[in-house]
Chain A
Amino acid sequence: MKDETFETIENSLRNLKRIGPSMPYRDGLKLRLIEELVGRRVLPRQNYFGWRFALLASLVVVFLAGGSVVLAQNSLPGQPLYPVKRGVENVKMVFVRRDERPKVEKKLAETRIDELKEAAKAENKQAATSAVREVEESLNKISLQVISARNKYRSLTDQNSDSQTAKKILEDLLQILVDKQAILAEIENSLPEPERSQIQIVRENLKTLQLDIEKDLNMLEDGSTEESVKGTQTQEDTQQLLQPSLR
């Protein structure tokens, strides 16, 4: 027979599940782990057969959809024709050269933010919810670009190789991060909750990346070339910069 007092205690204990880490901490640590993964150049194994099949299927869908494609261009996330719009983008992306992809991803992130703006303006709650997710996803791609560019820049400076091109890429990305934060801050107040808070977290993450880049670029200007120290400092700096969002 079960002891009733034990049941009551067990219920109180289950309540402890309500305790958890803060969202900025969760997101910050996730970002740090992605950074680690990219830093180690661990890349996903490609499934070429699946990729080709998906491409063929997407092409068939695009051709079959015909007129829907044109109509879909003005659709917003969560609307019936929106998957067609994204499908077309995905197919186009397949034909984009690898070195051109960052530019296209930047353009797509702008499109996603425009969609969020539209959804907020139209006070379309459902579209806004989906649009926030789309914005997060598109900015994650930019974040990965930043992480990858930082790693490249660090490795070039560590080897005392020419890092001017890498520096220029970082500076461009820095500008993108600053611009995106400003645009998101403008839209933020017109959004309902919880979308507003989600966008705030996205902005905080972009800010963290911005500070990371600024730190990297200042390090070079300071003339610090002691390689072993530099490597350790960068890791610790990333840690420290994530900390404010954890408090």
Chain B
Amino acid sequence: MIFGGRKTEREKIKRLVERSQNGDSKAFGKLYEQFIDKIFRFVFFRVGRKEVAEDLTQSVFLKALEHIKSFRKESQFSSWLFTIARNSIIDYYRSKKPVYSLGEFDELVAKDNTQDYESKEILAETLNVLRRLKEEEQEVIILHSVEEYSFEEIARITKKSPGALRILKHRALKKLRADLEK
């Protein structure tokens, strides 16, 4: 059932990409709605600043829009989009270091207005622990545990084998456990 659902979802995205390649702005709008949260989170968790995450997310979608016609149909759109995001982060990382503060979450946790300070603090703590991991470990944790992509899908984005990603994730979880137990 889950696999069927994923396949249908993939087909839907494929059709939206085809329509976008023909210049259908509504279709691109739907793709945007589908991926904006995921891309924003992926970028924000890696760079650690809301303003930077907003700028980079914007540039990811502008690049996607610019190059959508050259996107090859046999690839997966999500992998392609995350690869653009990943490259943008790498460029940013060359000169900057991520910084988190709880204040950022007061503005960011906008999806659920009922959240209290305590739950925001838990989110901030989880993120602070996450950022102590190596970059490649953070990536696999964000994409697999948070965004729930399969190892095969992440392999296409990171250019690592699914087996290597499984080991990387296990190692990252062990580190997270050790950190949280302190």
Residues of A within 8 A of B (CB): 3, 5-6, 9-10, 12-23, 25-26, 29-30, 32-34, 36-38, 42-45, 246-247
Contact = CB atoms under 8 A, between A and B. Distances in A.
The A contact surface, by secondary structure, is helix
Contact of B145 (A3, A5, A13, A42): A13
B110 A16 contact: no
B41 A36 contact: no
15 contacts: A5-B177, A9-B176, A13-B130, A13-B146, A16-B41, A16-B127, A17-B147, A19-B44, A20-B40, A21-B53, A21-B54, A23-B110, A36-B62, A44-B26, A45-B23
B29 A18 contact: no
B123 A19 contact: yes
A30 B37 CA distance: 13
Contacts of A3: 173
A20 B108 CA distance: 6
Contacts, number: 107
A42 B20 CA distance: 10
B25 A34 contact: yes
Interface residues of B, number: 46
B78 interface: no
| Cβ-closest 4 pairs across A and B | A42-B23, A13-B145, A44-B24, A20-B111
B82 interface: no
B58 A32 contact: yes
B108 A19 contact: yes
B126 A15 contact: yes
Interface of B: 19, 22-26, 28-29, 32-33, 36-37, 40-41, 44-45, 53-54, 57-58, 61-62, 65, 105, 107-112, 115, 122-123, 126-127, 130, 141-142, 145-148, 173, 176-177, 180
Contacts of B111: 18-20
A12 B146 CA distance: 9
Contacts of B142: 16
A117 to B, nearest CB: 27
Nearest to B115: A18
Nearest to A25: B54
A157 to B, nearest CB: 24
A19 B107 CA distance: 10
Contact of B22 (A6, A13, A45): A45
B171 to A, nearest CB: 12
Given A16-B126, A30-B32, A22 B41 contact: no
Of B53, B57, B110, B123, most buried by chain A (CB within 10 Å of CB) is: B110
A44 B22 contact: yes
A21 B65 contact: no
Contact of A44 (B25, B37, B127): B25
Given A18-B123, A21-B40, A29 B61 contact: yes
A13 to B, nearest CB: 4
Nearest to A11: B145
Contacts of A36: 62, 65
Contacts of A25: 54
B25 A38 contact: yes
